[in-house]
Amino acid sequence: MKQAENRRGRHQSRLRYVSPLFIAGVICWAGWAEAKSELPCLVVPQVTLTVGTPVVGVLNSVVVNQGDMVKEGDVLATLESSLEQAEVALAKAKAEMDAAEKSTQMKAEFSLRKSARAKDLGKTSAMAHHEVDEAETEERLAQVAHMEALENKRVAQLELARATAALELRTVRSPITGIVVERFLSPGELVKQAPIMKLARLDPLLVEVLAPLSWLGKLSAGMRGEVRLEWPSAGPHQARVTVVNPVVNSASGTFEVLLELPNPGYKIPAGLSCVVHFPSQ
């Protein structure tokens, strides 16, 4: 899955997509806003991202549609995975095999007893020195064989973990809690470095403000603002300033301010124009 870009970089990149009419409106509003302590704004999703998969394959199923709500970790789609499932089954069978481990353990224990008896007999000259040496060598070889069986068991467990991870890559899960904005592919289509769908996080929302240069230094992170939407809703909504970009856009004479607007239950739709009032100004 593609990861969301760095938050600050993402916020700054939105400036390129702001409507020229919106920027012009901000410039015309600047003088009036100075007296009213209000600025035009735009409500947008906090995060918008496209979801894909790091592996190539054929889509087996897409379990969500445009407009569906999803939670972080929910399954969005699956790729054809019969081969990966077979590899997991094979690796699991190997990891659960313990005959070699048990047999080598028994041989090691027997060789230990045999070596101990040989040493006792060697002390009384009842057994030749080379026979005692042979028994001790068999003991050490049996111990090495048992260690090898344990190592093979560990390798089989790691192979099972790898096969399970490869199978998990065939399942596309939601990286965020939000809604499905758009679906690009359908079952049966080949996924190859292409997004499957677009998601958006709508709680909280972001309020984007292009403030005139005269406001620079008057706004800071943590300040509260009252947001009034163009869409009919109950009273002003409280938002908190999270970002004040100190870089001024020379073309418009504005700088970007971002506020976080709680949106439990997704009652406020994204994409609305608004006005934000700062009571402290």
Per-residue model confidence (pLDDT) at position 37? 76
Judge whether 34 and 166 are in contact, CB under 8 Å.
no
pLDDT band of 279, cuts 50, 70, 90? confident
pLDDT band of 153, cuts 50, 70, 90? confident
Calculate mean pLDDT across residues 177-184. Answer: 94
Highest mean pLDDT among 26-30, 107-111, 119-123, 272-276 belongs to 272-276
Beta strands in the chain (DSSP E): 38-51, 57-62, 69-70, 75-79, 171-173, 178-183, 190-191, 197-212, 224-229, 237-249, 254-261, 273-277
Calculate mean pLDDT across residues 237-242. Answer: 92
The pLDDT of residue 11 is above 80: no
C-alpha distance from residue 92 to each of 149, 153, 170 (Å):
16, 11, 18
Distance CA 98, CA 153 (A): 8
Residue type, 91: A
Calculate mean pLDDT across residues 271-276. Answer: 92
Per-residue model confidence (pLDDT) at position 127? 66
pLDDT band of 132, cuts 50, 70, 90? low
What's the sign of the alpha-carbon dihedral 254, 260, 265, 267?
negative
pLDDT band of 120, cuts 50, 70, 90? low
Per-residue model confidence (pLDDT) at position 102? 76
Per-residue model confidence (pLDDT) at position 164? 95
Provide Rg for the chain, Cα atoms: 33
135 or 41: which carries more pLDDT confidence? 41
Please give the mean pLDDT across all residues of the chain. Answer: 82
Which of 90-99, 121-130, 196-205, 260-269 has the lowest average pLDDT?
A: 121-130
Per-residue model confidence (pLDDT) at position 81? 93
The pLDDT of residue 169 is above 60: yes
9 or 157: which carries more pLDDT confidence? 157
Complete edge-to-edge strand list for the sheet that includes strand 171-173: 171-173, 75-79, 57-62, 190-191
